[in-house]
């Protein structure tokens, strides 16, 4: 047997380590690209959902004297204490449907209310077993999107809003909401009062909240 031939055609340990190192470098370079692409795909789906929800709101308004849904945001429904300073509003909450329930007759599928970025988050117990520390908003409430309930309290529609193009009507439920998890770098997909949707920063969303109805 020609051992010298076998040695010439095989990989040495150094060559194998070099190949592994190159693969590791390529993976490190490509992984952020993959994450960015996945995040962009989720954003596109989420914005598309909000556009269709916006159309459903307009159809609702056509059947309701041009008023936007008399409905409540899920977190307001389950924590009405938030509105304790406004008893005239708080007293209405028990009688109001949640926003996705009010719009159900105007959408083809309840999956429209599921945002792909609404993943919740997991922790592990002492044995390394994953635990669902916080279910997704969709699993918990039936919708991944928040609604500005004050619009319903004040019986508003696009024509009666002061600045509909600068008013947040609905937005995805990640990030901070009523004392929840804070995601400083998260960009929110927002449906505005005039029906257009936009991906905005947290600071921009706070400015929308400051818009007087």
pLDDT in tens, 165-203: 999 999 986 544 433 444 556 788 999 999 999 989 888
Is 34's pLDDT higher than 70?
Answer: no
For the chain, percent of residues with pLDDT exceeding 70: 73
pLDDT of residue 162: 93
CA neighbours closer than 13 Å in the CB half-sphere of residue 198? 16
In 67-211, at which residue ranges do the beta strands (DSSP E only) sit? 121-124, 130-134, 145-147, 168-172, 188-192, 197-200
Q: How far apart are CA 193 and CA 161, in angstroms?
A: 8
Q: Check whether 88 has a pLDDT greater than 80.
A: yes
**Which range (82-86, 116-120, 122-126) has the least confidence?**
122-126
> Does 71 have pLDDT greater than 90?
yes
Give the separation between CA 184 and CA 133, rounded to whole angstroms: 20
């Amino acid at each position: 047997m020609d051992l010298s031939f076998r040695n010439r055609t095989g990989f040495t340990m150094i060559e194998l380590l070099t190949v592994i190192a190159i693969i590791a470098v390529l993976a490190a370079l490509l992984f952020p690209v993959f994450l960015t692409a996945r995040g962009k795909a989720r954003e596109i789906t989420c914005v598309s959902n909000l556009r269709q929800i916006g159309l459903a709101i307009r159809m609702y308004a056509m059947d309701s004297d041009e008023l936007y849904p008399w409905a409540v945001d899920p977190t307001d429904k389950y924590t009405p204490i938030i509105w304790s300073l406004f008893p005239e509003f708080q007293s209405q909450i028990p009688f109001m449907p949640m926003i996705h329930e009010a719009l159900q007759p105007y959408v083809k599928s309840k999956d429209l209310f599921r945002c792909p970025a609404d993943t919740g988050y997991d922790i592990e117990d002492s044995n390394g077993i994953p635990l669902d520390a916080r279910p997704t908003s969709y699993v918990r409430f039936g919708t991944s999107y928040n609604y500005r309930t004050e619009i319903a309290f004040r019986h508003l529609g696009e024509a009666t809003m002061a600045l509909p193009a600068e008013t947040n009507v609905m937005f995805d439920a990640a990030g901070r909401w009523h004392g929840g998890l804070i995601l400083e770098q998260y960009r929110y997909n927002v449906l505005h009062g005039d029906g257009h949707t936009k991906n905005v920063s947290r600071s921009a969303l706070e400015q929308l909240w400051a818009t007087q109805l």
